[in-house]
Amino acid sequence: MSNRSKGNLILEFLLYPSLLVLSMVILHFLAGTVKLNIDSSDAQRDFNTAIGTALLSGVFLFSIRVIQKQAAKNLYSMLNVIGKRDEFWLHRKKLSEQFAKHLILSVAVSFIMPLLYMLSEGLLVRLHEKEVFIVAVGAIPFWLLLTLFVLQLITVNRYSWKILFGGDIDLVDKLKLYSRVMKMAMITLATIGLVLAVIPVFWINQPIHFFDIATLIFLLTLIVSFLFAPFVYIALIVGKVKYALAKDIDKRVDKLIKESVVYERSQEIEELLYIKEKYCN
């Protein structure tokens, strides 16, 4: 890929998230939510919430775009390994239908969660204030993208596992599939790390509230249950498959040597040893 193509790809991923963050921050500045002169605890909380939700909304949008792009490439690669490349658009259609359902659910959550947050923090009585109202409105895209982000994390990884464990697949192809599933898991874990790096913005000069802790624990539980635990399981399975493949190759090579056809079958032996070195080490 040329430098120009890489530049265009980076711009494609960063443009809309950057515009979203910028527009949300400008909205808060115009509304007076974000002030450089912070003179009270309420002002600090509003400032943190405004900046934090804006940054996280951009991170979620960026992560969703990266995950979808990589999921499509990963899906095509996996189907190519098992000889079902022609089914790519069928799988893409299924994922698109799931995305549409997730979007509807995310919209519902985006209205419910700000209401629950304001109830827990006693902010409903201040809803008539312009600053509080703008913060509440700004929370809608935040919760929409957060919910969509979590659902996409779970969906794309579980879909990869579904292909991985479906049907009879020989050991070499299985290892190829495992490597692609692990790559997708690493990408999603990287996006989670990016999200976690932004979260402390909410706690600048502020105590950590119960609602924040409960939400973070809930999200981390989802991550561990649906991503990290299967990731560890797959890593263990890869070790077993590598061992089984290495053992099978050793038996086949020993058989060829015992049959005294080393010269005639030297190319086959070399290929087997190459596969062992590539996939079993």
Angle between helix axes 130-164 and 210-223 (nearest 10 degrees) is 20
Q: Is the distance from CB of 125 to CB of 100 less than 8 angstroms?
A: no
Of the candidates 48, 34, 38, which has an alpha carbon nearest to the alpha carbon of residue 142? 48
Q: How many helices (H) and strands (E) does the chain have?
A: 8, 0
The winner for highest mean pLDDT among 13-22, 172-181, 225-234 is: 13-22
Give residue 48's pLDDT: 84
| Spatial separation of the C-alpha atoms in residues 272 and 158, rounded to whole Å | 32
Q: What's the pLDDT tens digit per position in 157-178?
A: 888 877 777 666 777 777 778 7
Q: Does the pLDDT value for residue 3 go beyond 60? A: no
- Paired tokens of 57: 């909304």
pTM of the entire predicted model: 0.77
17-26, 100-109, 164-173: lowest mean pLDDT where?
A: 164-173
| Spatial separation of the C-alpha atoms in residues 256 and 259, rounded to whole Å | 5
H-only helix segments in the chain: 3-31, 41-81, 88-121, 130-164, 171-198, 210-223, 229-258, 266-280
Q: Does the pLDDT value for residue 148 go beyond 90? A: yes
State percent of the chain over pLDDT 70.
86
Q: Is the distance from CB of 245 to CB of 178 less than 8 angstroms?
A: no
- What integer is the mean pLDDT of 127-148? 81
Tokens 């400008």 label which residue? 26
Give residue 6's pLDDT: 54
| DSSP letter assigned to residue 129 | S
Rg (alpha carbons) of the chain, rounded to whole number? 25
Taking CB atoms within 8 Å and a gap of at least 24, the contacts of 32-40 are: 32/130, 32/131, 33/131, 33/134, 33/135, 33/138, 38/205
Tokens 């981390």 label which residue? 220
State percent of the chain over pLDDT 90.
12
- What integer is the mean pLDDT of 165-192? 78
Angle between helix axes 130-164 and 41-81 (nearest 10 degrees) is 20
